[in-house]
Chain A
Amino acid sequence: MTFWEKLYLPEIARGLGITFKMLIGPKMTIQYPEEKYHPGGYYRGRPVLVLDEDGERCVACGLCSRVCPPLAIEVRAGETDREKERYPVKFEINMLRCIFCGLCEEVCPEEAIVMSKDLEMVFENRESAILGKEKLLVPVAQLQDRLEYLRMHQYYEPPARAQDA
């Protein structure tokens, strides 16, 4: 080390300069209850079911339920007369179990379950933390960010859809 480096004081002065710049510089904090956090498509919040114009996308294959590590998803399939003959009679996600890993989203062949931006999950009792279809279905328009993000980061071709054409 040279004499100046051994002296240590110039380096302290430089460090003080850096911290002073931080002191007067912009702050990262979001003042939460007043100011909301609006994450981009990368955010893995509450998992939701996608609701298209022609109804829900889910075909009740049960892959999400199968892959879910904490066993938070319960699907019961039913049949219809429509072209897509299966649909979930019951689709429940237990938010007390969900770990927001996003495996359900990754495994879904229909792009029917995705992670939303919803990060405010407050429940007053255990029963209300088990979300049924009525709370899970979200119109596709609100999930565009996430769907776009998934297409950019997916390893396989997403299923062709009418609105893509």
Chain B
Amino acid sequence: MELLVDFLIGFLKALIVLFLVILPGASGAVYFERRIAAWIQMRIGPNRVGPYGLLQPIADVIKLIFKEDIIPAAADKRFHFLAPLISITITVAVFAVIPFGHYVVINGEPVYLGVAPNVHVGILYVLAMTSMGVYGLTLAGWASNNKYSLLGGLRSSAQMISYELAMGLSIVALLMVTGTPNLMEIVEQQAGWRWNVLYQPLGFLIFLVASFAETNRTPFDLPEAEPELVGGYHTEYTGMKFGMFFLAEYGNVIAASAMMTALFFGGWQVPFLPELLGLQEGSVALALLQVASFTIKVAIFVFFFIWVRWTVPRFRYDQLMRLGWKVLFPLSLANVLITGLVMLIN
């Protein structure tokens, strides 16, 4: 009985996260991507569908659903179908461990905000999931039976593997500081202004650059470099299958922003204000404040992702590999070493 109730609560939380966080978040990110791109290029951007063009992403999705779903004759149909599903599933799965707030006391029981933020392998789970994400792209490239798709898929796998090392090592240094891979505990440790970015500035920088590469965003969007690869791994995808890759990309951006917020920028912590207003730990008001704090921080990072996309030109492939292996990898090792030495001295 206990198990069933736990399962139902978990299921309900998952539904809430899916329909109130990921889908509106991704469509909002798409809208702001187009709007900010336009503003940076001295244009206005979509402003016709609904007030301020806010319904534009919905119109886009309706268009995608009604488009013909084309599968190339030479494609491997099973994998061609499977690839976007893998992509989107893994993107959604990452959100399971992200803590959106601390907890609310309902019936004397603390209900944690997040599907399963207390998993004690939190960070490892996120790393595992993001490295699984490469299967979606590589499979899409391979199953399309198109040279551009294949090249895009290969690039994405090479790129992700190269940058995962630097990302993992920057997290190793962070774990040495925090002493736990549990995301909820990591955020709890950052109460007040003790944000991890103050202890791990280099680690944060490496994590930031690596997450740009992991989410395939400019300046590292080699897998879909239009001038040379047409559309990259999603050249042969149409309709909602393309939409899934699109949704997965923005879902990944939000997930990466949420990870950076949780790991380095205090997650849902609200400094000073709770004490000032006298809010009780576990009360609904404090939980709302925490969720708001988390959302604002994530939104700033999403904005940064978009801002960088419309500023920095794409790297060349050899430059990308050189940056990954010859700069970020040694830098993250040095970061681990320095962190260890400082901890030894203290």
Which A residues form the contact surface with B (CB < 8 A)?
12, 15-16, 18-20, 22-29, 31
Q: Mark B310-331, 1 if CB is under 8 A from A, else 0.
A: 1110000000000000000000
If A29-B44, A31-B44 touch, whether A16 touches B39 (CB-CB below 8 Å) is no
Whether A22 lies near B41 (C-beta < 8 A) is: yes
Find chain B residues with CB under 8 A from A29 CB: 42-44
The listed residue (A15, A16, A25) touching B42 by CB distance below 8 A is A25
Whether A15 lies near B312 (C-beta < 8 A) is: yes
| A-B Cβ contacts below 8 A, count | 35
Task: List B residues 26-75 near A (Cβ within 8 Å).
Answer: 36, 39-44
Find chain B residues with CB under 8 A from A23 CB: 36, 39-40, 307
A12–B41 Cα gap in the complex (Å)?
17
A-B contact sample (8 more), CB < 8 A, given A16-B308, A27-B42? A12-B308, A15-B311, A16-B307, A22-B39, A23-B36, A23-B39, A23-B40, A24-B39
Q: Interface size (B, Cβ < 8 Å)?
A: 12
The listed residue (B43, B44, B307) touching A19 by CB distance below 8 A is B307
Whether B39 lies near A12 (C-beta < 8 A) is: no
A31–B38 Cα gap in the complex (Å)?
14
A18–B40 Cα gap in the complex (Å)?
9
The listed residue (A19, A26, A28, A31) touching B311 by CB distance below 8 A is A19
A3, chain B: closest CB distance, angstroms: 13
Whether A28 lies near B307 (C-beta < 8 A) is: no
Find chain B residues with CB under 8 A from A19 CB: 40, 307, 310-311
Find chain A residues with CB under 8 A from B42 CB: 22, 25-29
A7–B228 Cα gap in the complex (Å)?
27
The listed residue (B39, B308, B311, B312) touching A27 by CB distance below 8 A is B39
30 A-B pairs in the complex with CB atoms less than 8 angstroms apart: A12-B308, A12-B311, A12-B312, A16-B307, A16-B308, A18-B311, A19-B40, A19-B307, A19-B310, A19-B311, A20-B307, A22-B39, A22-B40, A22-B41, A22-B42, A23-B36, A23-B39, A23-B307, A24-B39, A25-B42, A26-B42, A27-B39, A27-B42, A27-B43, A27-B44, A28-B43, A29-B42, A29-B43, A29-B44, A31-B44
B223, chain A: closest CB distance, angstroms: 21
Q: Mark B182-198, 1 if CB is under 8 A from A, else 0.
A: 00000000000000000
Main secondary structure, interface of A, reads: helix
A25–B42 Cα gap in the complex (Å)?
7
Q: Mark B290-321, 1 if CB is under 8 A from A, else 0.
A: 00000000000000000110111000000000
Measured CB to CB, the nearest residue on chain A to B304 is A16
B257, chain A: closest CB distance, angstroms: 17
B314, chain A: closest CB distance, angstroms: 13
A16–B311 Cα gap in the complex (Å)?
6
Measured CB to CB, the nearest residue on chain A to B41 is A22
B237, chain A: closest CB distance, angstroms: 30
Which B residues form the contact surface with A (CB < 8 A)?
36, 39-44, 307-308, 310-312
A19–B40 Cα gap in the complex (Å)?
6
A101–B74 Cα gap in the complex (Å)?
48
A98, chain B: closest CB distance, angstroms: 30
A22–B38 Cα gap in the complex (Å)?
10
Find chain A residues with CB under 8 A from B36 CB: 23
Find chain B residues with CB under 8 A from A25 CB: 42
A62–B163 Cα gap in the complex (Å)?
71
- The residue among B39, B308, B311, B312 with the most chain A CB atoms within 10 A of its own CB is B311
A20, chain B: closest CB distance, angstroms: 7
A12–B311 Cα gap in the complex (Å)?
8
A12–B134 Cα gap in the complex (Å)?
28
A24–B40 Cα gap in the complex (Å)?
8
Find chain B residues with CB under 8 A from A16 CB: 307-308, 311
A37, chain B: closest CB distance, angstroms: 15
The 5 closest A-B pairs by CB, nearest first: A19-B311, A29-B44, A23-B39, A15-B311, A28-B42
B207, chain A: closest CB distance, angstroms: 15
Find chain B residues with CB under 8 A from A22 CB: 39-42
A28–B311 Cα gap in the complex (Å)?
19
Find chain B residues with CB under 8 A from A12 CB: 308, 311-312
Find chain A residues with CB under 8 A from B39 CB: 22-24, 27
B330, chain A: closest CB distance, angstroms: 15
Measured CB to CB, the nearest residue on chain A to B42 is A28
A29, chain B: closest CB distance, angstroms: 4
B253, chain A: closest CB distance, angstroms: 17
A18–B42 Cα gap in the complex (Å)?
12
Measured CB to CB, the nearest residue on chain B to A31 is B44
A23–B40 Cα gap in the complex (Å)?
4
A28–B310 Cα gap in the complex (Å)?
18
A25–B36 Cα gap in the complex (Å)?
12
